[in-house]
Chain A
Amino acid sequence: SQQGEEDPQALSIQEGENATMNCSYKTSINNLQWYRQNSGRGLVHLILIRSNEREKHSGRLRVTLDTSKKSSSLLITASRAADTASYFCATVSGTYKYIFGTGTRLKVLA
């Protein structure tokens, strides 16, 4: 079964607005990663946060991790039309097993 559950399932925003998506998971992790998938393409890695970290930034991306609540959030600031894609969280265990969530479909309107 899928490890992570993401919400919302779908999100539609205007260009320039911020987009926030959340991920909840069930078991202990080594790290948590976020990936983007454009329609019909493979997944692309965005950002990784280790289990002992609480917040990480990369460009317009900000990710938080709360291991006590087994949850993470991804914030994309100043969104662009090119950010339109599906976003997945992936939990990684000590055996380097990547388990993906259900995904959030983001649509950024120009």
Chain B
Amino acid sequence: EAGVAQSPRYKIIEKRQSVAFWCNPISGHATLYWYQQILGQGPKLLIQFQNNGVVDDSQLPKDRFSAERLKGVDSTLKIQPAKLEDSAVYLCASSRGQGAAEAFFGQGTRLTVV
């Protein structure tokens, strides 16, 4: 089966600019996650979708970050305006969302804010 697809792989922007990341999860996976991973740290959950509804966005900085999942499939994560501390790898993952399921991760988007 095809894995989780993310694009772009790399992005360099100036502070105060906006940026968007795209994710296509594994077909049939109900649950989709966006994580932020700062160098040397573990992934931090930003937002969790179940189908096209938000389950948890408690750690999403809503003044600058937004995310949507259209028709319960693809998802986009946007940052506007970006800050230097947003430099990180943004990982998308999906899971079946039932039973004892594993999460499948994309390769991530490495964002550098200068």
Residues of A within 8 A of B (CB): 2, 4, 30-31, 33, 40-45, 48, 50, 88, 90, 92, 95-103
Contacts and interface: CB of A to CB of B under 8 A. Distances in A.
B104 A50 contact: no
A48 B100 CA distance: 8
Contacts of B42: 2, 4, 88, 100-103
B56 interface: yes
30 contacts: A2-B41, A2-B44, A4-B42, A30-B100, A41-B108, A42-B4, A42-B106, A42-B108, A43-B43, A43-B91, A43-B93, A45-B102, A45-B104, A48-B102, A50-B100, A88-B43, A90-B103, A95-B56, A96-B48, A96-B95, A96-B97, A97-B48, A98-B33, A98-B93, A100-B35, A100-B42, A100-B43, A100-B44, A102-B41, A103-B42
